[in-house]
Every structure is written in structure tokens, then in C-alpha cells.
Amino acid sequence: MPFDIARTRAAYPALTEGFAHFDGAGGTQTARPVIEAVSAAMTAATGNRSTAFVPGRRSLDVVAAARAAVGDLLGAEPGGVVLGPSATALTYTLARTLGAGWRPGDEVVVSRLDHDANVRPWVQAAEAAGATVRWAEFDPATGELPAGQYADLVTERTRLVAVTAGSNAIGTAPDVASIAKTAHAAGALVCVDGVHAVPHGPTDLASLGADFLVTSAYKWSGPHLAAMAADPARWASLRPAKLLPSSDAVPDRFEYGTPSFPLLAGVVAAVDHLATLDPTATGSRRDRVRAGLAAAQAHEEAVFERLLAGLAARPFVTVYGSPARRCPTVSFRVAGSTPAETAAALGAAGVCLSSGDYYAYEYFRTMGLRDSGGAVRASVYHYNTVEEVDRLLAELDRLAAAGERMAR
Ligand SMILES: Cc1ncc(COP(=O)(O)O)c(C=O)c1O
């Protein structure tokens, strides 16, 4: 069945404002059921977690429901889902916890393709422990992260390999399963940044080979909250720094402070929403989420192909990278216009995309693009249309024509 784009777009109230949103990589629009769930949770009587009274039990229930929802999204056990304010905060918690057990001579492997949220926490934890950091390099021409290099990078001293499942700068989807295999053969743990990849297709913790997998709900139609999934037994083997009176249970002991219960209701609603993207899907919520994201992926790929072809056909556009396996995200520059100028010109025409390094710090530094403004990024999400792509391309043409007139 073809993807019902009209039905899908109708679920996002913000789309009625008329902007063309190509910055899903920075955060998607919010689905109506999410807005309604957050509002309902804030309207109802609330209380901190307690079994003593009904509002307190609601808070207990919503935490459990959010763990179950994220578990269905990632193929993880609900008891292994740690909830938190952001992927960055969760990765720092894990890095500090694991790093406390590292010694001089231990090694960690990070990549220059990753968002800094899956780089700096590990680099800093390694520095604190006197451990060595080894870097996986991407191919500057293609933007691929060759999995073969990990055979040399990983040694018997490697404690952790951190790698992205999808580059938020140029879309590359590295062969994480192969990298994880190499890491595991040496006894190392693998932390996978799923923030960019998870919104764009079905995800499975076990098939990725991830020991830890992090995702942020605001990249998949939900609120600004995040989750990190692992085997509950893995969490049980770790002891984070924590307050004395806070719960020592797994996974609670990795969560700091009182969570936003209304936003957790939004996380549940977001996963439920993803499970409706293929209205013909049946079975468990996990089955329906996978089907929904597979349907969305096929639609995104078609829209993205048109975008890539349109950019390639314009000689005044320079596109960075051409990875074979990728998420629908691309970075580029327009001749005669800085990335910030390009983004501002498009923004003035209601086409929303961002410029800069989007915290893919090592990528843009290695490419020699960071100091001159990075690039412009367009990412496709399942509510985008080919008409919006054409609108974006037409604005690029207008910008290029204006630049030529100025040059004359
Ligand atoms: C690939 C990737 N990893 C990590 C992050 C950080 O996520 P958060 O804002 O939840 O800390 C982002 C945010 O853009 C991202 O794109």
C-alpha cells in the first residue's frame, strides 16, 4: 500500500503554518497525539511517584509505560530502558560510570563521523582515567566509515567502541553490526548513537550488536526526552554515581532527579503514533512500529532521491559525501553564499534548514569546513513531500540567480 502522506501530514498540527521543514535532524514537528497526551497528563491530577494515592500511581505507571514504549521501538527489554533529559546527558552518565573502571593503558575507540555527544563524553572519561583514545576515520570523498579499520583499532586493551548508527551531518549509516562484532571479539563494549538513525527505519538493539543504544524522542515526533537501552543485566553490573536516598534499582539508579511525567506520557504517545504510520499493520505494537517505520522509510527514500538528484543537477551546489547506506540527510554548500547566508535566504522563504556543524564537530573539522561555517543540512522526515523538495530547489535557484546578478 502506498504511504498515505496526506493522512500522515494531518497528524502534525504545526504543518498548517506552511513552512517546509527540512530540519528533522535537528528535531521533528510534534504529532498531535503527543500534544494531547502531554496536555492530558498536565490537566489530570499529578503527584510524585507513590503507591499511596491515585496521582502518584499515575506517575509510576507512566514511567513503566515509557520504558515499554521505547522497548518496543528499539527491540529492548523495558527493564533495560533508562530514561533521561537528552542523549548527551545519558551518554555522559554512561561514560562517567564505565570510565570509573578504566585504567591507564585501557583504550576507547571513537569516530570522526559521530555527533560530539558520542565522542567527547568518551574522550573526557578516557582522559580522566589515563586511558588512550583511538580514532576511526571516515573517507572524506564518500563519507563512509569503513568497518574494516576496526580490526586494527580494536585491541585486547579496548574497553569501549562508540559509533553512530547514522551521521546527523551527511547521513552515513555505518555497518554497526560488523563493527560491534570486531569489538565484541576483543571483549569491548559497544555504545551506539541511534539519535539520527532511529527515526528513519526499524531498529533492533540485538541485530545492531549494541550493548548500549541511545535515542532522542524529539527526533521522532515526540517531546524533548531521551532513552538509553541495554540488557538489564548489563545495567545491573554497573554502579553510577548517585544520591544516597535515590533508588538503587535497575534501571532507575541511572536516572537523576524527578522526571517530567507529562513528557513521558508524550514519549508513549509518540511510539504509539509511529505504530500507526502503516494503517494496514497488525500484531504487537513492536510489529506495528516496525511496519510503520518501514513504510515511512520507503516514502522518505523516494523524497530524498529527488532531493539528491536535484542537488546533483545544480553545478553551483557542492554536496558532501555519497555514502551507499544512509539516512535521508545531506549537507551541501551553495557557491557564492556562506552556509549561514543560504540558510537565512531559505528561511526567509519559509524553507527551514540549518547551517553550521550541528555538533558533528570532528566531521566538519576534518573536512576543513568548520571554521568557514560548516555546511547547510537538509534532512527528510516522513511528513516531507516531493513538492517541498521542489520548493527547496527553486529557492536555491533563486539564490544562485541573485548571486549571479550581484557578481555582474
Ligand atoms: C546523531 C546525534 N547524536 C546525539 C545528539 C544529541 O542529542 P540530544 O540533543 O538528545 O542530547 C544529536 C542531536 O542532534 C544527534 O543528531
DSSP-assigned states of every residue in 205-253: HHHHT-SEEEEEGGGTTS-S-EEEE--HHHHHT------SSS--STTGG
Packing angle between helix 386-407 and helix 339-348, nearest 10 degrees?
Answer: 120
Q: What is the pLDDT of residues 395-406, one digit of tens each?
A: 999 999 998 787
Residue 359 backbone zone (phi > 0: left; psi -120 to 50: alpha; other: beta):
left
Q: What is the pLDDT of residue 403?
A: 83
Give yes or no for residue 90 CB within 6 A of ligand 1.
no
Dist. CA 50 → ligand 1 center (Å): 32
As given in the structure block, the three cell numbers for residue 213 are 543504544
Q: What is the pLDDT of residue 51?
A: 97
Dist. CA 244 → ligand 1 center (Å): 30
Give yes or no for residue 196 CB within 6 A of ligand 1.
yes
Q: What is the pLDDT of residue 2?
A: 78
As given in the structure block, the three cell numbers for residue 312 are 546533483
Give yes or no for residue 87 CB within 6 A of ligand 1.
yes
**Burial class of residue 291 in the structure, from the number of CB atoms within 10 Å of its CB (0-12 exposed, 13-18 middle, 19+ buried):** buried
Give yes or no for residue 377 CB within 6 A of ligand 1.
no
Helix (H, G, I), strand (E, B), or coil: what is residue 309? helix
Give yes or no for residue 117 CB within 6 A of ligand 1.
yes
How many H helices and E strands in the chain?
14, 13
Q: What is the pLDDT of residue 404?
A: 78
Give yes or no for residue 172 CB within 6 A of ligand 1.
no
Taking the alpha carbons at both ends of the chain, their separation in whole angstroms is 51
Q: What is the pLDDT of residues 11-23, one digit of tens each?
A: 999 999 999 999 9
- 70, 176, 196, best to mutate for ligand 1 pocket (most atoms within 8 Å of CB): 196
Q: What is the pLDDT of residue 408?
A: 75
Kindly give the pairing relationship between strand 107-111 and strand 158-164.
Answer: parallel
Dist. CA 342 → ligand 1 center (Å): 23
Give yes or no for residue 217 CB within 6 A of ligand 1.
no
CA-nearest residue, atom 14 of ligand 1: 26
Low-confidence ranges of the chain (pLDDT < 50): none
Q: Which atom of ligand 1 is nearest to the CA of 224?
A: 10
Cα 20 to the chain's mean position, in Å? 20
Q: What is the pLDDT of residue 157?
A: 98
Which residues are paired to 83 by β-bridges? 227
Where are the strands (E) in 140-188, listed by range?
158-164
